[in-house]
């Protein structure tokens, strides 16, 4: 492979191949990306279109629509409230099924945009939340309005051009506006220990993978100054955790042995919620730099 790193232009090296897709990694800065870019559905349409979008595959519907979703939105809101005053205008990019827009709407004037029509309809029908169809890269300021803050919760790893996405977000922010985002942390201890078996190496959806170093560089190049780094825990139902562990690791002998006690849990426990934070998802708060 001779393709150069999108961040530092160092010649790339092949890291892994899966599902006919190629993950490259920069030996200089450590940035990783899928050479083929965003996957397409049959007919060349987005994998997020249609009645059965890609994020519902492999049992993930419980993650997006399950009971903990509103709790997790509240965890995100707690971070926001430490940096963004009440009443601020907030743009939620990649709003998903609208849980953050719903919860944050009690504190901010929130406008959400989302690429998936299925998610937009679900948000309206189940949460009473209205989302605009769109993506980070296609943001426009047709009405000239600006936002005080923008959020990209687990979004930047999915977009075709992260630099363009962040620059578009910067254009929609007022002077000194705040951006808050989260994304899998390729530089985390868990990612390094699991290597190619790290569960966030989804070459269909996660086409760009960052560390603190590479994300900090991209933010700076896109017109932002980092204020803080962190990692948030998330609430999950035990049944969902078991299903994910089984999906990723249940086919190996070691995995089956380690999962045996969890599989023996009483069925009544599967709906219980727990908070997990393996510190392999970055959260970053940054301010729009003054020109």
Q: What is the SS3 assignment for 166?
A: helix
Axis crossing angle, helix 212-221 with helix 162-172, rounded to the nearest 10: 50
Record the pTM: 0.89
Which ranges of 223-283 would DSSP assign to H, the alpha helix? 238-249, 253-263
Q: How far is CA 29 from the centre of its chain?
A: 21
**How high is the pLDDT of residue 277?**
94
- The residues, ordered by sequence, that sit 6+ positions from 19 with a Cβ below 8 Å of its Cβ are 203, 204
Give, for 62, the enclosing helix (H) or strand (E): helix 61-65
Which domains, ranges and CATH numbers included, belong to the chain?
38-183+209-233+281-288 (3.40.50.150)
Per-residue pLDDT of the chain (291 residues; tens, 9 = 90+): 448 999 999 999 999 998 889 999 999 999 999 999 988 877 667 777 766 666 666 666 666 777 889 999 999 999 999 999 999 999 999 999 999 999 999 999 999 999 999 999 999 999 999 999 988 877 765 456 899 999 999 999 999 999 999 999 999 999 999 999 999 999 999 999 999 989 899 898 899 999 999 999 999 999 999 999 999 988 988 877 777 777 677 677 666 777 777 777 777 777 788 888 999 999 999 999 977
């Amino acid at each position: 492979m001779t393709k150069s790193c999108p961040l530092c232009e160092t010649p790339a090296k092949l890291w892994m191949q899966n599902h006919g897709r190629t993950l490259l990694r920069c030996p200089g800065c450590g940035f990783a990306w899928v050479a083929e870019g965003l996957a397409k559905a049959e007919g060349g349409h987005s994998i997020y279109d249609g009645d059965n979008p890609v994020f519902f595959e492999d049992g993930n519907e419980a993650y997006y629509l399950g009971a903990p979703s509103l709790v997790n939105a509240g965890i995100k809101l707690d971070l926001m409230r430490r940096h963004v005053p009440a009443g601020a205008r907030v743009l939620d990019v990649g709003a998903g099924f609208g849980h953050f827009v719903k919860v944050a709407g009690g504190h901010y004037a929130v406008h959400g945009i989302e690429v998936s029509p299925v998610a937009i309809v679900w948000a309206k029908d189940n949460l009473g939340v209205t989302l605009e169809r769109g993506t980070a890269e296609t943001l426009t300021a047709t009405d000239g309005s600006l936002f005080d803050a923008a959020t990209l919760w687990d979004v930047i790893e999915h977009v075709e051009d992260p630099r363009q996405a962040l620059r578009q977000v910067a254009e929609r922010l007022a002077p000194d506006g705040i951006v808050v985002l989260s994304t899998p942390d390729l530089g985390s201890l868990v990612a390094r220990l699991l290597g190619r078996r790290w569960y966030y190496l989804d070459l269909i959806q996660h086409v760009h993978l960052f560390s603190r170093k590479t994300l900090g560089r991209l933010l700076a190049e896109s017109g932002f100054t980092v204020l803080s780094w962190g990692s948030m825990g998330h609430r999950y139902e035990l049944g969902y955790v078991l299903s994910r562990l089984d999906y990723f690791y249940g086919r190996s002998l070691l995995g089956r042995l380690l999962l045996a006690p969890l599989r023996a849990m009483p069925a009544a426990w599967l709906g219980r919620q727990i908070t997990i934070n393996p510190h392999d998802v970055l959260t970053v708060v940054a301010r729009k730099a003054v020109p």
